[in-house]
């Protein structure tokens, strides 16, 4: 009963810490795409947000297990509860082992999720939202107004349905000026104009009668298989390190006498672990 209670305390604190870390990370990233997410219908953005939140919780859970194990074991030692347990001839290492064994379902869940969730899935859904945002911009652009999204700028002098007149379009290194254009699904068909493009630091100006430009050219709507494999390996590594992170938290709390020193050490090691994962990710 005692071991189950301590395990629940550790898991509960881990979930809380993981939620806090995920919210901080998501809020920091959200400001980069807030205009896109807030402008699209909820039924299109909600799956992305749910997947993003769930992935963040999964990604930060091993780190949270390390933090919570440090705090839980330190609290046991600081409040003399660990001494009471030792008075029954139960060593701290046996206590740690019992908690570790009861965390096996959590470890299995992390390993299973490693094969199901990938950062590339988040990127794919984000690109899809950007693609939908570009479509909304093209189909709803007002007359005589420059509309800009990131590095895309669009202007039309007049429009009748999907037919546009005196069009200016710029995205990345592509700039198009045309007498007219029409919208066909996700493709802009420019008529009678000029195309200015850049290649190898050289600019080329080309006149055309008709030029077709698909918005898919600017947004990848396919999952990168190499990145999927990389993400899976990184997720698996992060998950398999969870038992060692709990053990590290236990050893750290056992060797540390002051709470402030423990907080400092846990913070530094957590940041170091994130840099370790980023380094491994760049090498995969």
Question: How confident is the model over 249-268, as pLDDT tens digits?
Answer: 888 888 887 888 888 888 89
Beta bridge partners of 193: 178, 208
Instruction: Give the list of residues 6+ apart from residue 221 with CB closer than 8 angstroms, or none.
Output: 124, 127, 128, 131
Structure tokens at 180: 């007219």
If you count DSSP H runs as helices and E runs as strands, how many of each does the chain have, helices first? 9, 6
Q: How much is the pLDDT for 257?
A: 78
Q: Dihedral, CA atoms, 224, 230, 235, 240, nearest 10 degrees?
A: 150
189-228 burial, b for 16+ CB within 10 Å, e for fewer?
Answer: bbbebebeeeeeeeeeeeeeeebebebeebbeeeeeeebe
Q: Please give the Cα distance from 135 to 133 (Å, whole number).
A: 5
pTM: 0.82
- Which band of pLDDT confidence, cut at 50, 70 and 90, is reported for residue 62? very high
Show the DSSP H helices in 181-258 as ranges. Answer: 225-240, 242-255
Q: How much is the pLDDT for 108?
A: 93
Q: Please give the Cα distance from 150 to 172 (Å, whole number).
A: 10
Could you tell me whether strands 163-171 and 147-149 are parallel, antiparallel, or unpaired per DSSP bridges?
unpaired
Tokens 């470890």 found at: 107
| Residue range 163-189: mean pLDDT, rounded | 86
Contact 155, 138 (CB under 8 A): no
What is the chain's length? Answer: 284
Structure tokens at 103: 């965390």
Question: How confident is the model over 103-148, as pLDDT tens digits?
Answer: 899 999 999 999 988 989 998 888 888 888 888 888 888 888 888 7
Instruction: Give the list of residues 6+ apart from residue 4 with CB closer than 8 angstroms, or none.
Output: 102
pLDDT at 169 > cutoff 70: yes
Q: How much is the pLDDT for 88?
A: 64
Question: How confident is the model over 83-100, as pLDDT tens digits?
Answer: 666 666 677 777 778 888
Domains of the chain: 2-126+220-283 (no CATH), 143-217 (2.20.25)
Main-chain dihedrals φ then ψ at residue 72, nearest 5 degrees = -65, -50
Q: How much is the pLDDT for 244?
A: 94
- Which band of pLDDT confidence, cut at 50, 70 and 90, is reported for residue 234? very high
Query: How much of the chain exceeds pLDDT 90, in percent?
Result: 23
């Amino acid at each position: 009963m005692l071991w189950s209670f301590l395990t629940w305390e550790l898991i509960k604190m881990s979930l809380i810490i993981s939620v806090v870390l995920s919210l901080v990370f998501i809020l920091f990233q959200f400001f980069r795409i807030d205009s896109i997410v807030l402008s699209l219908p909820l039924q299109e953005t909600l799956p992305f947000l749910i997947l993003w939140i769930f992935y963040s919780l999964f990604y930060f859970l091993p780190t949270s297990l390390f933090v919570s194990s440090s705090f839980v074991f330190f609290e046991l030692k600081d409040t003399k509860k660990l001494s009471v347990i030792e008075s029954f001839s139960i060593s701290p290492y046996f206590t740690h082992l019992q908690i570790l064994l009861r965390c096996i379902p959590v470890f299995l869940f992390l390993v299973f999720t490693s094969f199901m969730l990938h950062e590339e899935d988040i990127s794919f859904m984000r690109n899809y939202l950007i693609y939908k945002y570009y479509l909304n911009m093209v189909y709803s652009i007002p007359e005589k107004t420059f509309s800009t999204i990131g590095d895309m700028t669009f202007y039309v002098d007049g429009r009748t349905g999907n037919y546009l007149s005196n069009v200016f379009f710029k995205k990345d290194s592509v700039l198009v000026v045309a007498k007219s254009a029409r919208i066909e699904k996700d493709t802009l068909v420019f008529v009678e104009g000029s195309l200015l493009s850049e290649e190898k630091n050289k600019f080329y100006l080309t006149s055309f009668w008709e030029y077709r430009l698909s918005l898919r050219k600017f947004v990848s709507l396919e999952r990168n298989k190499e990145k999927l494999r990389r993400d899976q390996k990184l997720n698996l590594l992060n998950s398999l390190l969870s038992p060692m992170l709990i053990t590290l938290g236990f050893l750290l709390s056992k060797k540390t006498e002051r709470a402030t020193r423990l907080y400092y050490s846990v913070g530094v090691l957590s940041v170091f672990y994130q840099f370790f994962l980023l380094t491994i990710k760049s090498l995969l």
